[in-house]
């Protein structure tokens, strides 16, 4: 019945939950409780094929967009690394031919090398800062079916040890974790619309990851554009400076 549909948490309720528990566990519990009640409501319709197909298409599209942004991030990372490599090459050439290179070109070369290296390093810092952050959504979302950390330990080695005792521990952990996940999945499948809720949460997470990746790309692209602009501006500004000095000297000798 429609009357059983829970009300969405208000901003005030969310703020109170946040302030009441620094670990945000209370917030997560209440969010999950609220959404579970919504999806368990008997009026929620997940029987029509077009709803399930739309959800599948949403996940598929979200994964595709996330992959696209990830590919773009890697391209900008390679550009940043190339900047660092080119700047090192410039410095090497300048140092090995220090006496034969005109002063103007040496000055341009050193400053431009510095600009390229700083640009590349900043792009690398942006890339790394978005790799393993503590995403805010992890404090409220629950996607046990989708994420390995809910099932398997980070410390589990990918190779079966040749030492019997360690191999036994590995098999114990894998077997226990795997069987627990299967039984847990089976138990949750009994809850009405539980996996629909999880899938919608997964779509939201993928959309957030798209947003974070796009933000990273924007920062890297902006840094690259500023670096290229400065790289081009340096010789132009130095040339203008030298020409201005020559003009002043010429006018002063007349």
The confidence band for 1, taking pLDDT boundaries of 50, 70 and 90, is very low
Burial of 8 (0-12, 13-18, 19+ CB in 10 A): exposed
Kindly report, residue by residue over 108-160, the tens digit of the pLDDT.
Answer: 889 999 999 999 999 999 999 988 777 888 888 877 777 776 677 777 777 88
Task: Give the pLDDT confidence of 191-237 residue by residue, as tens digits.
Answer: 777 777 888 888 888 888 899 999 999 999 999 999 999 999 998 99
Taking CA atoms, 25 is separated from 130, 137, 144, 199, 221, in Å, by 24, 12, 16, 21, 37
- pLDDT digit string (tens) for 4-24? 667 888 888 888 888 888 888
Look at the block and give the residue holding tokens 């999945």.
185
- DSSP 3-state assignment of 240? helix
C-alpha closest to that of 151 among 184, 105, 119 = 184
Higher pLDDT, 147 or 162: 162
pLDDT number for residue 125: 94
What is the spatial distance between Cα 95 and Cα 4, in angstroms, rounded to a whole number? 77
Residue pair 216/80 in contact by the 8 Å Cβ criterion: no
Q: What is the pLDDT of residue 102?
A: 85
**What does the pLDDT read at residue 105?**
86
pLDDT digits (tens, 9 = 90+) for 52-106: 788 888 889 988 998 999 999 999 999 999 999 999 998 888 888 877 888 888 8
Q: What is the 3-state secondary structure (H, E, C) of 3-57?
A: HHCCCCCCHHHHHHHHHHCCCCHHHHHHHHHHHHHHHHCCCCCCCCHHHHHHHHH
Q: What pLDDT shows up at residue 37?
A: 82
In the prediction, which pLDDT does 5 show? Answer: 67
Q: What is the pLDDT of residue 246?
A: 80
Q: What is the pLDDT of residue 48?
A: 56
What would the mean pLDDT of 154-173 be, rounded to a whole number?
82
Instruction: Quote the longest CA-to-CA distance of the chain.
Output: 97
- Look at residue 3 and tell me whether its pLDDT is greater than 60: no
For 164-187, what is the mean pLDDT? 82
- The residues, ordered by sequence, that sit 6+ positions from 81 with a Cβ below 8 Å of its Cβ are 120, 124
- Which residues are CB-neighbours of 117 under 8 A, at least 6 positions away? 83, 84, 87, 88
At how many degrees (to 10) do helices 103-129 and 194-253 cross?
Answer: 170
Rounded-to-integer distance, Cα 114 and Cα 94, Å? 13
Contact between 63 and 206 under an 8 Å Cβ cutoff? The reply is yes
pLDDT value, residue 79 = 96
Q: Are 97 and 144 in contact (CB under 8 A)?
A: no
């Amino acid at each position: 019945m429609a009357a059983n549909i829970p009300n969405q948490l208000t901003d005030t309720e969310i703020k109170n939950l946040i302030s009441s528990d620094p670990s945000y566990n209370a917030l997560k519990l209440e969010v999950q409780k609220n959404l579970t009640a919504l999806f368990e409501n008997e009026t929620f319709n997940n029987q029509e094929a077009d709803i399930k197909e739309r959800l599948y298409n949403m996940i598929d599209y979200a994964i595709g967009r996330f992959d696209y942004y990830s590919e773009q991030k890697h391209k900008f990372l390679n550009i940043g690394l190339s900047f660092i490599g080119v700047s090192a090459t410039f410095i090497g050439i300048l140092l090995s031919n220090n006496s034969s290179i005109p002063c103007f070109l040496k000055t341009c070369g050193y400053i431009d090398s510095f600009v390229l290296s700083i640009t590349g390093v900043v792009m690398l810092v942006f890339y790394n800062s978005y790799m393993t952050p503590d995403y805010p959504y992890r404090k409220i979302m629950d996607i046990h079916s989708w994420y390995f950390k809910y099932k398997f330990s980070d410390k589990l080695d990918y190779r079966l040890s040749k030492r019997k005792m360690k191999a036994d521990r590995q098999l114990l952990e894998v077997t226990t974790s795997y069987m627990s996940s299967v039984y847990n999945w089976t138990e949750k499948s009994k809850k009405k619309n539980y996996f629909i809720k999880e899938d919608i949460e997964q779509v939201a997470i993928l959309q957030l990851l798209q947003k974070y990746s796009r933000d990273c790309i924007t920062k890297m692209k902006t840094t690259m554009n500023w670096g290229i602009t400065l790289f081009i501006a340096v010789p132009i500004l130095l040339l203008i400076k030298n020409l201005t000095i020559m003009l002043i000297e010429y006018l002063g000798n007349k």
